[in-house]
Structure 1
Amino acid sequence: MKKLIIAALLVVGMTSFAQNKKEMGTRHDRAEMEKFTPEQRNQLMLKKMTLELDLNASQQKEMAKVIAENSAKREARMKEMKANKDSNTKPTSDEMFARKNRMLDEQIAMKERMRKILNPEQFKKWEDMKGKRHHGMKKRMMHHNDGKPVNMDDKK
């Protein structure tokens, strides 16, 4: 009986350890990316896009500009969100509307810029990559919400 209990505890312990290791992998990757400077992150993103979309030299130059601009905007938004969180102020519905409206305008502008930089085949592949990334984000959000469906547009 004693051996059975010890064996059961070992199985449960190993199972939970294996699950934690899987989750730690994604967190570890994210932590590694945060250690890089913004320029290094931009360079890595550009190289990844070059490999996936087979960008030529002129496309790489244009994409480097786009990535740098997006990175700067993202950093500014992160600082703004952190300041709001630290001051415990909740945005009004008008501010939320303005923020969502601005984000959608930026997405439209980004799509148009990408359409000008990439050829039609590359653009389609970029759209597919974006869709997969969005799907992965939704899946991660669901995992953190105990399996309940999450509408990413209705985040609190």
Structure 2
Amino acid sequence: MKKLVIIALALFALQATAQERKRTHQNKERGQKMMNLSAEEMATLQTKKMTLYLDLNESQQAKIQKLNLENATKRKAMMEARKAKKERGNAEKPSKEERLAMVNAKLDHQIATKAKMKTILNDEQYAKWEKLEARRSQKNKGRNKDQRNKRQN
């Protein structure tokens, strides 16, 4: 009986680690696919998804397309800089001051985006968008926590 319990636990542990590796591989593939898209393509896809979710009208779509294009261009430039830094081999961890500056810049950008969205969307759409952003934020927090745990192990 004792041997059966040990075998069952071993199989369970093996299954859990196999699934974890599969998820990590899928996330890397998804990231590579996004890297292959241009900023315009990323912005168009995001705008269409938002149009479906928030039921945007034509003028809202145009304004959000412009906002998404700005964000995608900025994101693409940051991805390219990170990739170039990694390829050069000097991908050091940022200092405390640099990390603080990056976090402040990110939060300032989020505040500005939120203000722009509030002017573009009506109250109902804005509430729905905020709920979506909160869900996305929670999902990313969990993903980041998982990645930190993997690095520590």
- Shorter chain as denominator, the TM-score bin is 0.7 to 0.9
The answer to whether structure 1 residue 117 and structure 2 residue 114 are counterparts is no
Q: 1:136 aligns with which of 128, 135, 139?
A: 139
Q: Give CA deviations for 1:72-124 in whole Å, capped at 9, x if unaligned.
A: 12223334444555435554444333332222221111111000000111111
Which one is further off, 55-64 or 102-111?
102-111
Q: Select the structure that is richer in helix.
A: 2
Letter in 1 for 2:62: K
Question: What secondary structure sits across from 1:145 in the alignment?
Answer: helix
The count of aligned residue pairs is 140
Distance in 2 of aligned mates of 1:31 and 1:83: 15
Q: Which structure 2 residues correspond to residues 43-82 of structure 1 after superposition, within 5 A?
A: 43-82=44-83
Letter in 1 for 2:63: E
Deviant stretches of 4+, over 6 Å: none
Residues 105 and 142 (structure 1 numbering): CA distance in 2 closer, same or farther, change over 3 Å? closer
The answer to whether structure 1 residue 39 and structure 2 residue 40 are counterparts is yes
Look up the match of 2:29. Answer: 28
Point out which structure has higher relative CO (alpha carbons under 8 A, 6+ apart): 2
Runs of 5+ consecutive residues of structure 2 not aligned to the other structure: none
Distance in 1 of aligned mates of 2:106 and 2:147: 24
Distance in 2 of aligned mates of 1:18 and 1:134: 23
Q: Give CA deviations for 1:6-37 in whole Å, capped at 9, x if unaligned.
A: x98xx67x836555444433333333222322
Shift of residue 127, structure 1, vs aligned partner: 0.9
- The answer as to whether partners of 1:84 and 1:90 remain within 8 angstroms in 2 is no
Look up the match of 1:98. Answer: 101
Distance in 1 of aligned mates of 2:21 and 2:82: 29
Residues 129 and 101 (structure 1 numbering): CA distance in 2 closer, same or farther, change over 3 Å? same
Runs of 5+ consecutive residues of structure 1 not aligned to the other structure: 148-156
TM-score of the aligned structures, taking structure 2 as reference length: 0.73
